Amino acid sequence: MADVPAECNIKVLCRFRPLNQSEIVRGDLFLPKFQGDDTVVVGGKSFSFDRVFPTNTTQEQVYNTCAKQIVKDVLSGYNGTIFAYGQTSSGKTHTMEGKLHDPHQMGIIPRIAEDIFNHIFAMDENLEFHIKVSYFEIYMDKIRDLLDVTKTNLSVHEDKNRVPYVKGCTERFVSSPDEVMDVIDEGKSNRHVAVTNMNEHSSRSHSIFLINIKQEHVETEQKLCGKLYLVDLAGSEKVSKTGAAGSVLDEAKNINKSLSALGNVISALAEGTKSHVPYRDSKMTRILQDSLGGNCRTTMFICCSPSSYNDAETKSTLMFGQRAKTIRNTASVNLELTAEQWKRKYEKEKEKNKTMKDTIQRLEAELNRWRNGEDVPETERTTADVMTRIESVEERPILDNDTSSIVVRISEEERQKYEEEIRKLYKQLDDKDDEINLQCQLVEKLKQQMLDQDELLASSKGDGDKVQAELGRLQVESDCAKAEVKEVLQALEELAINYDQKSQEVEEKGLQNQLLADQLSQKMASLMELEAELSRMQEVSGQQRKRIADVLNGLMRDLSEFSTIVGNGEIKLPVEISGAIEEEFTVARLYISKIKSEVKSMVKRCRQLENMQLECHRKMEETGRELSSCQLLISQHEAKIRSLTEYMQSVEQKKRQLEESHDSLSEELAKLQDQGTMNAHEEYFFRNLDICSFHFQKIRQQGDSHRGLHHKQLARLRDEINEKQRIIDELTDRNSKLELELAQARELQTLHNLRKLFVQDLTSRVKKSSEMEPDDSGGSCTQKQKISFLENNLDQLTKVHKQVRNAHNGREELSCPSALPPTRSTLTSVPPNRPTHTATPSSRAT
Ligand code: ADP
Ligand code: MG
C-alpha cells in the first residue's frame, strides 16, 4: 500500500444553539443571519465556514455531515481530531456528548462509538482490531486521568516518530459500543467525585477522549493504526466577563494560557511561518500537536450563542474559526511496513543515494572549475533539474525556501549540532516533565500521608484529652476516698470508746439479769397456781355456758316460731344452738332486728289504712249530702208532676163540659131547624156556636201540646232518678268495702301492740339473763314465768294471725264482708297479759 501524504485544510464547522429560556425571558435579540449552508452574518460581517449549522439542526444531521467521515478515515489508518471551541454554555458539550443515553439527543462521541463497531463488523474478516480508549482532562495545565483518580499530573512524551502522547495514562480495551459508554460514564463520575462545583470546573477544563484503533491483516500481517482525539475545550470567554477573582482568576489565567497557546499555534499555522509553532507552550497544544498542522484530519466545531448579549464573544469565536480554517494539515496513513515493503524502500533509498553521490561529484567538479577561475558555461552548470530529480526520489517534499535560506546561513555541521542540541533539550524537557510528574505524585502521596498523620494526631489528641479527663476523675475519686478513710477511722475510734462503755454496762446488766431471773422463777410459780385456778374456773364457766346455750336454744326456737307467725316464714333461725354465746346473741339480735323491720312496715300499713278510712268517711258524708239534695229534687219534681196531672184533669173536665154544651147546643139547633123558624136569635146562636167550636178547637190544641211537653219532662225525670239510684248503690258498695278495711286495720293495730309488748319483754329478758348468769338459781323462776308468758302470747298471736290471714283470703276470694266480725271478736277477747296454758311446740319450761 502506498503511503501518500495528502495535504488538506482543517475543517471548520460553525454551530449556533437556540436562544435559551433565560435569554428569551430577558428579551435578547437573535443575532445570526444564515446565508446558504456555509455562511453566517453577525453584526453585518459575514463569516464563511465549511458548513454552518443553524439552531434547528439535529444531532444526527451534525454527525452525518461531518463526523461520519472521520470514523472511516480513522479506520483507514489516518489520525483524526474533533474539537469543540466556544464560550461557556454555547453548546460544546451538547455537540460532543449530548445526552449520552438518549438516542436522539446523543452527541458525536456516543455516535462514533457505535459507528466504529458498525464499520468493523462490516469489514474484512481477516482484519483483527484492537481498540483502546483513554479519558483525561487538563485543568490548570495538569493532566488528570479520569479512569484512575490517583493519576493527577501525567506528562507528555514523544514516541519514536516524535509524535507526542500522554505517558502512563490508563488505556481500556473495548469490544463494543456499550463498553465505550461504560468507560465514558466511569470517567464522568470520577470527574464529579473530585470536584465541588461541576459547572465551574467543566467550563474551566478541557476534556479529551482518545480512541486508538489498531488493525492487522491476519494473512498479510499488514498493520494500520489510527488515533481519534475528541476534545471538549474549556470556555473561550474572557476573564473579565465572568468576574473571577483570586484563585479563580489564577485558574482562568491558566485556562486562558492554554487556550491562548492554542490560539497562538493556530495563528502561527495560519500565517504559514512554520519556523516556530509554539506547541510547547501548553500541554494541551503539545498533545494536539499532530492534530494541528501535522499528520491528522482535523475538524473543529465553532459553537456560538445567538444572543445579542454574547455578541462580542460570538464574534471573537467566529474570527478564531476563520483563522483556523486556513491551517493546512498533511495527513498520511500510519502504515507499518512489511519486509517486502522495507526492501523496496531500501532499494529506493539506495538509488537515491547513488544519484545524490553523482550529483555531488558533478557539483564538486563544477566548483573546482569555478575556484580555478574558469568560467563554466551555462549548459555545463548543474541545474535545478537535477534537484527536482532528487526531490522526486525523496519520500517527503523538501523544506520550503525559508529553510534553505537558513541552511545557507548556518553550516550543515552547525545545524546538526543545533538540532542535536534541540533534541537533547527536548529530551531533558521530557525528563524534567517525568521528574515533575514523579515529584507531583510524591507530593500527592506525602500530602495524603500528612492528612493521615493529621488525622492520627487529632485522634491521639482526642485520646490524650480523654486520658487526662480520666486521670482528673481518678484524682478526685482518690481524694474522696482518702477523706472517707479518715472519717471511717474516726468512727472506729468512737466505736472503740463506745465498746468500753457498753461492756461495763453489760456487766451491770448481767447482775440485774440475775436478779430478774430470780424474780421470774417466783412469778412462774405463782403463774402455775393461777393456771390451775383458771382451769377450774374454765370448767365452771363451761357448765354455765352450756346452760345458757340451752336457754338460748329455747329462746331461738320461740323466736323462729314467732317469725313464722309474724312474717311469711322467710326469716329463718338455726334450729339448734350450741356454739359460742356471742354468736348466738348476734343471731338473735339480727333476728329481732328483722322482726322489728317487719313490724315497722305493718305499722306503716296500718297508718295508711287509717288514712284511707278517714278519706272514705269524708267521701261517704259527701255522697250522703248529694243523696239528700237528689231526694229533695225528686220530691220537687214529684210535686210538679202532681200539679201538672191536676191541671190536666181540670182541662179534661173543661173539655168534657164544652163537649156536653156543644152536644146540647147542636140538639137545640136541630130542634130549631125542625121548627123552620130562622130568626135573629138563630143567627146569634149560630154565631155563638161557631165561636164556641173555635174555642174548643183551640183548647184541644193547647191540651195536645201540653201533653207532649209533660211526657218529655216525665221521661227526663225518670232517667235522672235511675242515675241517682245507681250512684247510691255504688256508694253503699264502697262504704261497705271501707268498713271492711277499717276492721282489718284495727286488727293489725292490735297485732302490732302485741308484738311491741313481746319485743319489750324479750329485750328485758335477754338483759336479765345476761345479768343473772353468774348465779342462776335466783332468776330461773322468773325466767321460767316469762318464758311461759311469751309462749302464751305467741300462741295467741299465731291464732290471731291465722284468723286474719283466713279472713283476708276469704275476702279476696269471695269478697264477702260477713267473714270478718268473728275475727275481730277473737282478737279483742284475748288480753295481752292473760296467762294461758295452751300446749306449745316448745313447752319445755313446764
Ligand atoms: P458548553 O459545554 O459549551 O458550556 P453546553 O453544551 O453545556 O455548553 O450547553 C449549554 C446548554 O444549552 C445545555 O443545556 C444544552 O442542552 C443547551 N444546548 C446547547 N446546544 C444546543 C442545541 N444545539 N440545541 C438545543 N440545546 C442546546
Ligand atoms: Mg461543557
9-38 per-position pLDDT tens digit: 788 999 999 999 999 999 999 999 999 999
- Summarised one tens digit per residue, pLDDT across range 258-272 is 888 888 888 887 776
Compute, in angstroms, the gap from residue 249 CA to the centroid of ligand 1.
24
93 marked among binding-site residues: yes
pLDDT reading at 323 higher than 60 = yes
Task: Pick from 14, 55, 94, 232 the residue to mutate for probing ligand 1's pocket: most ligand atoms within 8 Å of its CB.
Answer: 94
pLDDT reading at 842 higher than 50 = no
Compute, in angstroms, the gap from residue 147 CA to the centroid of ligand 1.
25
| Among the ranges given (378-392, 480-494, 614-628, 709-723), the one the predictor scored with the smallest mean pLDDT | 378-392
Label residue 62 exposed, middle or buried (CB < 10 Å: 0-12, 13-18, 19+): buried
Compute, in angstroms, the gap from residue 274 CA to the centroid of ligand 1.
36
* CATH class in words for 6-336: alpha beta
Query: For 813-835, what is the mean pLDDT?
Result: 39
206 Cβ below 6 A of ligand 1:
no
- The structural domains of the chain, with segments of one domain joined by +, span 6-336
77 Cβ below 6 A of ligand 1:
no
17 Cβ below 6 A of ligand 1:
yes
Compute, in angstroms, the gap from residue 304 CA to the centroid of ligand 2.
13
Residue nearest to atom 16 of ligand 1 (CA): 94
Nearest residue to 255 (alpha-carbon basis) of 239, 243, 268, 240: 239
Q: Dump the DSSP string for 346-413.
A: HHHHHHHHHHHHHHHHHHHHHHHHHHTT----GGGS--HHHHHHHHHHSSSPPP-HHHHHHHHHS-HH
pLDDT category of residue 757 using cuts at 50, 70 and 90: confident
pLDDT of residue 820: 38
Higher pLDDT, 398 or 162: 162
Compute, in angstroms, the gap from residue 92 CA to the centroid of ligand 2.
5
Percentage, residues of the chain above pLDDT 90: 35
| Among the ranges given (250-254, 339-343, 712-716), the one the predictor scored with the smallest mean pLDDT | 250-254
pLDDT reading at 779 higher than 80 = no
Residue nearest to atom 20 of ligand 1 (CA): 91
Residue nearest to atom 19 of ligand 1 (CA): 91
| Among the ranges given (45-54, 551-560, 659-668, 755-764), the one the predictor scored with the smallest mean pLDDT | 755-764
321 marked among binding-site residues: no
**Do residues 112 and 230 lie in contact, with contact meaning Cβ atoms separated by under 8 Å?**
yes
- Summarised one tens digit per residue, pLDDT across range 188-227 is 998 877 677 777 787 888 999 999 999 998 888 888 889 9
93 Cβ below 6 A of ligand 1:
yes
Ligand found nearest the CA of 313: 1
18 Cβ below 6 A of ligand 1:
yes
Higher pLDDT, 809 or 612: 612
pLDDT of residue 220: 85
Compute, in angstroms, the gap from residue 84 CA to the centroid of ligand 1.
12
89 Cβ below 6 A of ligand 1:
yes
**Helix, strand or coil, per DSSP, at residue 230:** strand
Compute, in angstroms, the gap from residue 316 CA to the centroid of ligand 2.
18
Closest ligand 1 atom to residue 84 Cα is 3
Compute, in angstroms, the gap from residue 627 CA to the centroid of ligand 2.
129
**Helix, strand or coil, per DSSP, at residue 521:** helix
Ligand found nearest the CA of 201: 2
The count of other CB atoms within 10 Å of the CB of residue 274 is 13
Closest ligand 1 atom to residue 16 Cα is 23
Query: For 644-655, what is the mean pLDDT?
Result: 91
90 marked among binding-site residues: yes
Compute, in angstroms, the gap from residue 79 CA to the centroid of ligand 2.
24
86 Cβ below 6 A of ligand 1:
yes
pLDDT of residue 278: 84
Highest-scoring range by mean pLDDT, 235-239, 347-351, 463-467, 673-677: 463-467
CA distance 751 to 562: 12
| Among the ranges given (331-345, 411-425, 719-733), the one the predictor scored with the smallest mean pLDDT | 331-345
Global pTM value: 0.49
Residue nearest to atom 9 of ligand 1 (CA): 91
Closest ligand 1 atom to residue 57 Cα is 23
- 257: which residues sit within 8 A by CB, 6+ positions away? 141, 281, 282
Compute, in angstroms, the gap from residue 182 CA to the centroid of ligand 1.
23
pLDDT of residue 239: 52
Compute, in angstroms, the gap from residue 105 CA to the centroid of ligand 2.
15
pLDDT of residue 153: 85
- Summarised one tens digit per residue, pLDDT across range 550-590 is 888 888 788 777 777 766 555 555 555 555 667 777 877 88
61 marked among binding-site residues: no
89 marked among binding-site residues: yes
| Among the ranges given (55-64, 281-290, 352-361, 820-829), the one the predictor scored with the smallest mean pLDDT | 820-829
Closest ligand 1 atom to residue 59 Cα is 23
Closest ligand 1 atom to residue 15 Cα is 23
87 marked among binding-site residues: yes
Highest-scoring range by mean pLDDT, 48-62, 326-340, 346-360: 48-62
Percentage, residues of the chain above pLDDT 70: 80
Closest ligand 1 atom to residue 232 Cα is 2
pLDDT of residue 61: 94
Task: Pick from 15, 17, 58, 232 the residue to mutate for probing ligand 1's pocket: most ligand atoms within 8 Å of its CB.
Answer: 17
pLDDT of residue 33: 94
Compute, in angstroms, the gap from residue 97 CA to the centroid of ligand 2.
9
Grid cell for residue 698? 183551640
| Among the ranges given (112-116, 478-482, 615-619, 760-764), the one the predictor scored with the smallest mean pLDDT | 760-764
Compute, in angstroms, the gap from residue 257 CA to the centroid of ligand 1.
24
Strand 206-217 versus strand 335-336 pairing type: unpaired
Grid cell for residue 100? 449520552
pLDDT category of residue 695 using cuts at 50, 70 and 90: confident
CA distance 126 to 562: 137
Closest ligand 1 atom to residue 86 Cα is 3
Label residue 240 exposed, middle or buried (CB < 10 Å: 0-12, 13-18, 19+): exposed
Q: Which letter, b or e, does each residue of 323-355 get, where b requires 16 or more Cβ atoms within 10 Å of its Cβ? A: bbbebebebbbbeeeeeeeeeeeeeeeeebeee
Q: Measuring CA to CA, how many Å separate 772 from each of 133, 578, 766, 776, 780?
A: 132, 20, 10, 6, 9
**Helix, strand or coil, per DSSP, at residue 314:** helix
**Do residues 231 and 206 lie in contact, with contact meaning Cβ atoms separated by under 8 Å?**
yes
Task: Pick from 89, 198, 303 the residue to mutate for probing ligand 1's pocket: most ligand atoms within 8 Å of its CB.
Answer: 89
pLDDT of residue 184: 95
Residue nearest to atom 22 of ligand 1 (CA): 17
Residue corresponding to grid cell 283476708: 808
54 Cβ below 6 A of ligand 1:
no
697 marked among binding-site residues: no
pLDDT reading at 515 higher than 70 = yes
92 Cβ below 6 A of ligand 1:
yes
pLDDT reading at 789 higher than 80 = no
Residue nearest to atom 10 of ligand 1 (CA): 89
Ligand found nearest the CA of 99: 1
CA distance 216 to 123: 12
274 marked among binding-site residues: no
792 Cβ below 6 A of ligand 1:
no
Based on DSSP, count helices (H) and strands (E) in the chain, helices before strands: 19, 17
306 Cβ below 6 A of ligand 1:
no
Arithmetic mean of pLDDT over the chain:
81
pLDDT reading at 337 higher than 90 = no
pLDDT category of residue 390 using cuts at 50, 70 and 90: low
91 Cβ below 6 A of ligand 1:
yes
Compute, in angstroms, the gap from residue 138 CA to the centroid of ligand 2.
14
